[in-house]
Amino acid sequence: MKKSKKSQKGVTSNDKNKGMGKEKEREKKSSSLESGSYNYKMFSFFNRKFKINEVEPPSDVNKAFSLFTDEGSTHMTPEQLRRFMSVHQCEVSTRLEDAQNIIEQVVNRRHHITKFARHTLNVEDFFHFLLSDDLNGPIRTQVHHDMSAPLSHYFIYTGHNSYLTGNQLSSDCSEVPIIKALQNGVRVIELDLWPSKDEILVLHGRTLTTPVSFIQCLTSIKEYAFVSSPYPVIITLEDHLTPELQAKAADMITQTFETMLYYPESDLTEFPSPESLKYRIMISTKPPKEYLEVRSKDASEDESSPKDDSDAVSRNLLCYSNSSSESDQEDEDFKSLQAGVSGYKRLITIHAGKPKGSLKTALKEVTDPVRRLSLSEHQLEKLAGSHGLDIVRFTQRNILRVYPKGTRFTSSNYKPTIGWMHGAQMVAFNMQGYGKSLWLMHGMFRANGGCGYVIKPDILTRSADELFDPKATLLPVQKTLKVKIYMGDGWRLDFKHTHFDAYSPPDFYTKIFIVGVPADEAKKKTKIIEDDWCPVWDEEFSFPLTVPELALLRIEVREYDISEKDDFGGQTCLPVPELRTGFRSVPLHDKKGVKHKNVRLLMRFEFV
């Protein structure tokens, strides 16, 4: 029976041996573990010794090696490796030079000899190659989608309240989470603007969050906007400013971004493409209204003016007009103020705002200037039940942004798939709200080289008579994904030997999920492998998929505990359309989405 576990955090080998090179340290520790054993203290007075099992190639790997080498041969040549990559791994574009480069890297890593010393792989080298996620990862790492379609044809990596360091009520506001988001590929940054005398602050209004200056956020965005992706960054502004401060904000934006800032001369009738907007920054917010005509209205007409709490600009301009005398100086002041507001409006590329009528009417309206509409997760769920097709149709030309409901005080997130199923481009997430929902977001935007833009499947952009119905349940199976999980390795290098259990090696098992349209969702689980740092499961699962274009493969490793909650051993999420078939090394991440240095699984993917 398993004993209770110590709540210790993993300690990486790099933390313990900072002065040693990463590769040498890994080889040294791996070598000592493979030839040795672990000692676990029982009741503080005697030891239990567990031998470290040597990691061996699965039988399928041995068979593949034999199949692509000459009979009786113990080494694989570059040409044979090229043929293996082309036939077994379906990487038909692999060149002989690519195979030679792989061999050189593997031999150098394993044997620390020059690339001229050996030009072939033995079976252990071949196995090492298959377990190297940088050489044999599960998805493509380059941008390969068509980037010339309008922005409305892409899912866009979108943040919510991007300046918050923690919860929605009392955490600090800072440029640090904005920088981190941009470094991780996020392309839409949200800033809430509030006045403070003659300053512009970014904070979550009417809460205890501490502010950060607007100019500090803009400067950080300029510096880090394109460190991870060349494709456009969109800044969505939730604007609570007076007209005077809107004019000041416009000056800050233009002076900070200069030629990086993109804005059209007139309202857009179709959004430009990500390709045409490389290294450009755009503003999206609700445009301020023009109120020149207000000055000619009498007081009774003024009283009937809009009282929408969200339209602070309208009220401020109206108040300014009502309190003005007929002096020439006041006329000049008003015109100057209006010019500042017009300058602010001119910078807005993606116009946002609430519809004049009902949401249902807004979704059905065909508008010439394209726009952005925002819905809460609750509003989307409600509308999706009765107007799913209208939402899909709306998102073919316009942009739909979905944001977390206001009660998510802890910065938790919602399930993003309902937004993606309906074509919503901006499914806005709290990037500091770690959890399973955020893992799905990470998985979606690992697609297309992690550039932050993922082209929507054809089913969401095709003509009205072939419109995809997200509520459809009797869809035919398009393909079946077969997933075989062979083994896992690397925990012994990244974690202290008592991290999972104080008295014995861990008991790992793996859970595999398909997340997508309701008809495709599924869950499988491997058997538990007891007392082994290198578990070998060798199990295969099949997942029939009706809409594979919207499916995600979520993988989670747990360590079984009979008396407590099972420990977390790593996770990843992968976009099914991007999976590379054949043997693949699948790296695992921690709960925050940070990739472990050594923990990975050997898996095989096949579509039938």
CA distance 569 to 247: 52
| H helix count then E strand count, the chain | 18, 22
What DSSP element (H or E) covers 255? helix 243-257
Instruction: Tell the residue number behind the tokens 């992690």, with chain if given.
Output: 450
> Which is nearest to 514 in space by CA: 477, 542, 476, 484?
542
For the CA atoms of 259, 231, 517, 377, what is the dihedral angle to 10 degrees?
-30
Annotated active-site residue in 204, 422, 497, 596: 204
Instruction: Tell the residue number behind the tokens 């952005």, with chain if given.
Output: 372
Token pair for 475: 């869809």
**Burial of 28 (C-beta count, 10 Å sphere; 0-12/13-18/19+):** middle
Q: What is the 3-state secondary structure (H, E, C) of 256-280?
A: HHHHHECCCCCCCCCCCCCHHHCCC
Q: Under a CB-based contact definition with an 8 Å cutoff, are residues 282 and 234 in contact? A: yes
Token pair for 75: 């080494």
Task: Count other C-beta atoms under 10 Å from residue 154's C-beta.
Answer: 25
Token pair for 229: 């992706």
Annotated active-site residue in 128, 160, 422, 596: 160
The answer to whether 204 is a known catalytic residue is: yes
Instruction: Tell the residue number behind the tokens 């880090």, with chain if given.
Output: 224
The answer to whether 153 is a known catalytic residue is: no
DSSP 460: G
The radius of gyration computed from the CA coordinates of the chain, to the nearest angstrom, equals 28
CA distance 521 to 551: 8
Q: What proportions of the chain, in percent to the nearest 5, are helix, strand and coil? A: 35, 25, 40
CA distance 102 to 162: 40
Phi, psi of 41 (to 5 degrees): -85, 135
CA distance 268 to 301: 32
Token pair for 249: 């904000």
Pairing relation of β-strands 399-403 and 372-376? parallel
CA distance 237 to 262: 15
Task: Count other C-beta atoms under 10 Å from residue 347's C-beta.
Answer: 19
Q: Under a CB-based contact definition with an 8 Å cutoff, are residues 26 and 493 in contact? A: yes
Say which amino acid occupies 102: I
CB within 8 A of 535, min separation 6: which ones?
487, 488, 508, 509, 529
> Which is nearest to 539 in space by CA: 586, 482, 485?
485
C-alpha triplet 228, 568, 129: angle, nearest 5°: 55
Which residues partner with 524 through β-bridges? Answer: 512
Q: Under a CB-based contact definition with an 8 Å cutoff, are residues 515 and 543 in contact? A: no
Q: Under a CB-based contact definition with an 8 Å cutoff, are residues 230 and 453 in contact? A: no
C-alpha triplet 511, 513, 519: angle, nearest 5°: 150
Catalytic residues: 160, 204
